[in-house]
Amino acid sequence: MPIHVLFVEDEADLRTVVVEALTDQGFAVTAASNGVEAISELRGGIQYSMVVTDVCMPEGVSGLDVAAEVAHSQPQARVMVVSGLPRAQLPPLPPSVRYLPKPYRFSQLIRAIHEELG
């Protein structure tokens, strides 16, 4: 049974590359280009194991808003936020939310996902 990952990233090239790489690793990946799309996906029929979301995105819905929606609609899912901002410049993150700084290597993302999923 595949592990479902929701990958939320507004940079199209990065989103395409990471989704392809995660798929090659055996994950079932759904991509969203902003927080509005991500929340729509979270309220759909797929139960995600992992949500990886950029913090700063267009359309007025941030990655932190996405993380809050995960806690509400899919509390079984793990959340990882990624950002080019240092963690100290972000609002406080819930203890259950993992932070990964950008730029990251793909191997770092995979390792972090596996660590979060146990």
Per the prediction, the chain carries an average pLDDT of: 95
Those residues whose C-beta lies under 8 Å from the C-beta of residue 48, and which sit 6 or more positions away, are: 4, 5, 6, 30, 42, 70, 74, 77
* CA atoms of 112 and 102, how far apart (whole Å): 13
Domain boundaries, the chain: 4-117
pTM of the model: 0.95
pLDDT digits (tens, 9 = 90+) for 64-106: 999 999 999 999 999 999 999 999 999 999 888 999 999 999 9
Cis peptide before 75 (omega within 30 of 0): no
DSSP annotation string for 52-66? EEESS-STT--HHHH
The reported pLDDT for the residue numbered 106 is 95
* CA atoms of 21 and 42, how far apart (whole Å): 22
Q: Does pLDDT of 117 surpass 80?
A: yes
* CA atoms of 118 and 57, how far apart (whole Å): 29
- Backbone dihedral angles phi then psi of residue 72, each to the nearest 5 degrees: -80, -50
Give CATH for domain 4-117.
Answer: 3.40.50.2300
